[in-house]
Structure 1
Amino acid sequence: MRLPFRRRAVPPDRSGGGGPPDSDRSTPSASQAPDRSDDHAGHALRAPSRLHAFNRYEIKYLMSSTAVPVLRKELARRLDADSHGIGGGYGVWSVYYDTRDLRFYWEKIEGLRFRRKLRVRHYGDRSTVDDDSTVFVEIKQRVNRVTQKRRVALPYHLARDLCDRREMVAHEPGQRAFLEEVLDLLCRLDLRPVAMTGYQREAFVGRGAEAGLRVTVDQRVRGRDRDFDLGADAENRLIIPARLAVVELKANERIPYWLTDLAAELNMSVVRISKYCQSVEAFDRAPRSVFHVSDDDPSGTPVPAAARSEA
């Protein structure tokens, strides 16, 4: 039986001034397509750069894992496969930082119009992570219906110096303002690692008129609430039932009709799910909210006939 989520009063300075920090004003508009100069069909947003910033709209769905082959086949007809994930996809591992009272978690649960989170993310096999592996320090925030991301690529040892030891690190020109913002959040809010998530991702990217479109399919969503070293040989457990996949549709301006029609045809359920919040609740750091996906949740269970014949 689920516990109702609790509501919390919002302190006057919850958003550090009521809106995005000044550095956000330089982020590109939602109509600008992300830079794909390194690989037009790849994960350009993962390319190391001085500072990468972008805006987009996102819709999340849950679907039965048994229907993924049908979705994959339909997406391959209209979109290009992410060249970094050909042959089974790639791992995505993230360490999330929050306050002692889980301020960022509650901002998401309460649906604040301006909210954000800080994380360190690695793409690939976590067993290969060492001090020199490239990771990304990222601030992801929501402003009304638009998702904004700003991130820098750093060697893992520098990311830990910044986020765990709260020290300014060597950086390239153009990165300092963002790193100072990260340090301000860490020190002012006393942030610390709270949860870790990992999953296997397949990604598809738009071409031509749909160049800003991106679809990701995440399976085997796992997590842990301790041993936050990205390369640690630590035990993870499923935080979303293995029978379900999380599908995200991401676009600079709007999701094309053919894609939303496909989601309806495959019985995909729109959800307000957060992998970070799911991990927090799975390890009993907070009561399970109305958004929590549990083993007995029927969401995503229906499997269309096409998926049954494909399996």
Structure 2
Amino acid sequence: MAQADEAERRTREAAEPPRVASRLHAFNRYELKYLVPVEEARDIRDELAERMDRDVNSPPGGYGVWSLYYDTPRLRFYWEKIEGLRFRRKLRIRHYGDLASVTDDSLVCVEVKQRVNRVTQKRRIALPYRSALRLCDGRELIDHSAAERPFVHEVLELIVRLNLCPTAITGYQREALVGRDQDTGLRVTFDRRVRGRDRDFHFGTATPENRFIVPPHLAVMEVKVNERTPYWVTDLAARRNLSLIRVSKYVQSIETFGRAPRSVFHVTGEDLPSASHTSPHPSRVTGTRTEARVS
């Protein structure tokens, strides 16, 4: 009887189509953001490293993160962020690493990032760069597995229905730490040299005209958790007098390049007085533009 059951199972499995590993990845989490001077960010990183591990994908000095954002001609996604809608989303293509080596075969992620109340949700698919451009710029249905079908169709429908087009590129150097033991859902990142551009949207552009969209002496620190922030992280923030801030790299790029009026959430060089080393309250965000062009 057992042999018959085993033979039936093998026959059924042989008749099934082969399973293909999905390139999809999705997760939900809470994100807390702080703005800190680069020098203090190094100290905080070293303190966190006593209770956290370096991300295996984060070498000493960090790694590059580049994102091409899509929006409507009237910047719908930008205004949804400014207005603080409880449900909002945005579409981007993201590349990890050095842009100098980007080719059509380089692996990138097409990602939908959305906010539902206080929860950040990300869904993405890893694709060769040429396939990502065919999907997002060419508005073509690319090859995909059955598991990837809902997401690929959602992206294509979003692009066509809202007439999305490339709008801004942001890039920065990121260092990442991950929690250990009971803090395995914890991730802390430090983003410095945050820059961007509003043209030449191909990642492989030879001489891109990038500009700092966050002053170079400031780093964006993000605490990401699945449920609750560990008490010792909260204590660290209180001890160092860190203040939560609403800062979006995409919003920074739009406002730095004059695509929309400066909002109260725009970060400038005067937002973090060197004497206090504290992050600004959104209502106090004012100052001058940062126009330095960088590579």
TM range (shorter): 0.7 to 0.9
Deviation at 1:62, TM superposition (A): 0.3
Q: Which of the residues 184, 187, 200 maps onto 2:157?
A: 184
Greater Rg by CA: 2
Q: Which of the residues 77, 81, 84 maps onto 1:104?
A: 77
Deviation at 1:49, TM superposition (A): 4.5
Q: Distance in 2 between matches of 1:301 and 1:271?
A: 19
- 2:206 is the counterpart of 1:206: no
Deviation at 1:296, TM superposition (A): 2.3
Aligned to 1:223: 196
> Using CA pairs below 8 Å that are at least 6 residues apart, which structure has the higher relative contact order?
1
Deviation at 1:265, TM superposition (A): 2.2
- 2:224 is the counterpart of 1:250: yes
Does structure 2 conserve the Cα–Cα contact (< 8 Å) formed by 1:269 and 1:299?
no
Q: Which of the residues 256, 265, 277 maps onto 2:251?
A: 277
Q: Which amino acid aligns with 1:129?
A: V
Call closer, same or farther: CA 1:223–1:185 in 2, change over 3 Å: same
Does structure 2 conserve the Cα–Cα contact (< 8 Å) formed by 1:49 and 1:153?
no
Q: Distance in 2 between matches of 1:156 and 1:109?
A: 30
Does structure 1 conserve the Cα–Cα contact (< 8 Å) formed by 2:22 and 2:147?
no
Does structure 2 conserve the Cα–Cα contact (< 8 Å) formed by 1:62 and 1:299?
no
Deviation at 1:201, TM superposition (A): 0.1
Question: What aligned pairs does 1:44-123 form with structure 2 within 5 A after superposition?
Answer: 49-123=22-96
Deviation at 1:270, TM superposition (A): 1.0
SS in structure 2 at match of 1:77: coil
Aligned to 1:266: 240
Call closer, same or farther: CA 1:99–1:71 in 2, change over 3 Å: same
Q: Deviations over 1:226-262 (max 9, x none)?
A: 0010111212110000111000000000111111211
Q: Which amino acid aligns with 1:239?
A: I
Does structure 1 conserve the Cα–Cα contact (< 8 Å) formed by 2:196 and 2:211?
yes
Q: Which amino acid aligns with 1:121?
A: R
Q: Distance in 1 between matches of 2:272 and 2:187?
A: 27
SS in structure 1 at match of 2:255: helix
Q: Which amino acid aligns with 1:214?
A: R
Stretches of structure 1 that go unaligned for 5 or more consecutive residues are 1-47, 305-311
Aligned to 2:15: none
Q: Which of the residues 114, 136, 156 maps onto 2:129?
A: 156
Q: Distance in 1 between matches of 2:143 and 2:76?
A: 29
Aligned to 2:264: 290
Q: Distance in 1 between matches of 2:30 and 2:266?
A: 22
Q: Tell me the TM-score normalized by structure 2.
A: 0.84
Deviation at 1:295, TM superposition (A): 1.8
Q: Tell me the TM-score normalized by structure 1.
A: 0.80
- 2:140 is the counterpart of 1:167: yes
Deviation at 1:191, TM superposition (A): 0.2
Aligned residues: 257
**How high is the sequence identity, in percent, across the aligned residues?**
63
State the Cα RMSD in Å. 1.4
SS in structure 2 at match of 1:91: strand
- 2:210 is the counterpart of 1:236: yes
- 2:101 is the counterpart of 1:144: no
Stretches of structure 2 that go unaligned for 5 or more consecutive residues are 1-20, 279-295
Deviation at 1:68, TM superposition (A): 1.7
Q: Which amino acid aligns with 2:234?
A: T
